[in-house]
Amino acid sequence: MALPLEFIERLKAANPIAEVMGSYVTLKRTGRDYVCLCPFHNEKTPSCHVHPDKEFFHCFGCGAGGDVITFTMKYNNLDYWEAVKLLAERGGIPLPEDSGYNSQRTDSRKRFYEMNKTAAKFFYHQLKTPQGKECLDYLINKRKLSVDTIKKYGMGFAPNSWSALKSHMLSEGYSEEELEAGSLISRSQRNTRNTFDFFVNRAMFPFIDLAGHIVGFGGRALTPDDKRKYLNSKDTPVYSKNRFLFSMNFAKNAAVKDRTVLLCEGNLDVISLNQAGFENAVASCGTALTPEQAKIISNYADSAVICYDSDEAGQKATTRAIKILGDAGLKTTVIKMNGAKDPDEYINKFGADHFRHLINNSDGAINFELSKCGEGIDTDSELGKIDYMKKAYKVLAQISSPVERDVYISKVAQEQGVSKVAIEAEVDSMIEKERRQYSKREWTRTVTFADKRDEINPEANGHRREAAAECGIIYYLYNNHDVCGELLEKLPPEKFVTAFNRRVYQSLTEKIKNLEDCSISSFNGEFSPDEVGRITGIIEKFDKLNVDSKVLEDYVSTLLAYKPKSDGGDSLSDDDFFKNMQELRKRKNS
């Protein structure tokens, strides 16, 4: 049973799509609409369009699209019902008392959330036991964390036992299969019938997503002989280490205000900074920074301050993070910590004001990389200077802004006593070489993409003419419900050549016949977010093609004239198809 139309309309009215998307990404007005960098793929030029009057968005780069529910589903990795509940809570709209909505996936995800919440309560309770005293002492006295901070982050203790958590969770009604799938227990490789607790004798940190669900855990070893200092949940149906940022649920609100995120390596660094008043601190968990995480940061901030450890590993991670953050369009700076190995130690030794001074005086990413070029090199010698310049050229060539590049070229020329003209020539040569390589890569990617199987409508590549006609018919019907009866008589669903378009056509005609909602929102419960994006793309694309009743006739004729071919169809391009349609119309009108 679908949710009532009245409820969906109230939900959308309380959650205008531009307002909701604007809380995640930076929108720029263009006429009545908005554009933004798409949050679902990396890009430097905005290709995502938001139409408040039509109540949907569409990205011309990756094809993502839909209404505010679709966006919430896709952005937060939620299913339909979870997204509806999140938006209802946001807009203060009471849920229907009996929606009749149910799905196996929703129940499964809810089960994982409840299971993790039960485990978190167990870990938290263990802090109050005699065995947990050592962990509590570690957090309060060694790590200098307050009781309020411990409560805020829901920290706990995993007992020094291989079965304590498992026994407790089994008593709560969870099976070993569920616990293993949720990364709370592990299975012995030698004897697969034996299972044991995944986290043992560790300070525990729940991982909380942007919707407030506990999706996983991180555990800090309490004994120095444990080689795994940090242990994090494996990927589960509700947790992906490549997309999760620790404390982003707290940081997002602070980041939106000053448009800056502090990026750390460890959970305790983040917690110490948060306690000291730096609520915009986050960390990746069990993985180096990923492009997906950088994209999430860019949805809330314009700049990132890298606060990685001062050791060699931390500096290498900084170099890698600079590129990833830059690719996501973030301005990046790097703090220099003298007298401490990480932010947690620095805060405890020197205090919040000193750390704020570090942030305010953090060096730009370019200066950081240029300083790294000179490490271990005697730039006073001729050979040393040449080695340094070879590395510096690469850094300078990566600067996209001509003005910024000119500033740093001048700086290097002055510092090294080298002609600015000579440096410019080397850098320009590198940029041109990279441009040619980029063009070659893009051509290869374009050709590969053209040959790539369409996962949503795989039959479209083999039937371009028919698929384009089907999309045109769907578009016209979407905007002209009155032709539904006549159209169905001429063109029953079985005349559609591609399965996906046939599904959309069937769904739309059924909605029209039953006088149901036919907006983009109406497809959410029936189609996946990616499929809704494709439907939105059809509406967006054909809106610019001036499809009238005569064009509709041409589309219908195309499908009625179709006869399956042994070679799987024709290879006529979309552009050629539309040209043929125009010629056909001219002949009819002459």
For the chain, the maximum distance between any two Cα atoms, rounded to a whole number of angstroms, is: 93
Is residue 36 within 8 Å of 48, Cβ to Cβ?
Answer: yes
Supply the pLDDT for residue 445.
Answer: 45
User: Rounded distance, CA 6 to CA 277, Å?
Assistant: 44
* 3-state class (DSSP) for residue 162: coil
Q: Is 394 exposed, middle or buried (0-12, 13-18, 19+ CB in 10 A)?
A: middle
Taking the C-alpha atoms of residue 128 and residue 376, their distance in angstroms, rounded to an integer, is 51
Residue 498 pLDDT: 95
Each domain of the chain, given as residue ranges in start order, spans 5-91, 113-231, 245-371, 374-451, 464-589
Residue 35 has what pLDDT? 93
Q: Is residue 222 a contact partner of residue 175, using CB atoms and an 8 Å limit?
A: no
Give the bridge partners for 186, in sequence order: 196
Q: Identify the bridge partners of residue 197 per DSSP, sorted by sequence position.
A: 185
The pLDDT score that the predictor gives to residue 97 is: 63
Superfamily of domain 113-231: DNA primase, catalytic core, N-terminal domain (3.90.980.10)
What pLDDT, on the 0 to 100 scale, is given for residue 251?
Answer: 92
pLDDT of residue 573: 53
How many CB atoms within 10 Å of residue 481? 15
Confidence (pLDDT) at 380: 83
CB-based burial label for 221 (10 Å; 0-12, 13-18, 19+):
middle
Distance CA 524, CA 66 (A): 8
Q: In the prediction, which pLDDT does 568 show?
A: 45
Q: For residue 245, what pLDDT is reported?
A: 94
| Predicted local confidence at residue 453, as pLDDT | 62
What would the CATH number be for the domain defined by 245-371?
3.40.1360.10
For residue 233, what is the DSSP state? Answer: P
Q: For 5-91, which CATH superfamily applies?
A: Zinc finger, CHC2-typedomain (3.90.580.10)
Question: In the prediction, which pLDDT does 549 show?
Answer: 87
CA 519 to chain centre: 26
Return averaged pLDDT per consecutive 10 residues of the chain, 590 residues in all: 78 91 89 88 87 90 93 89 90 72 60 95 96 95 95 96 96 95 90 90 94 92 88 91 91 85 93 95 87 83 89 86 84 88 92 90 78 82 88 84 82 88 90 73 48 77 90 93 93 95 95 87 90 93 82 92 66 56 56
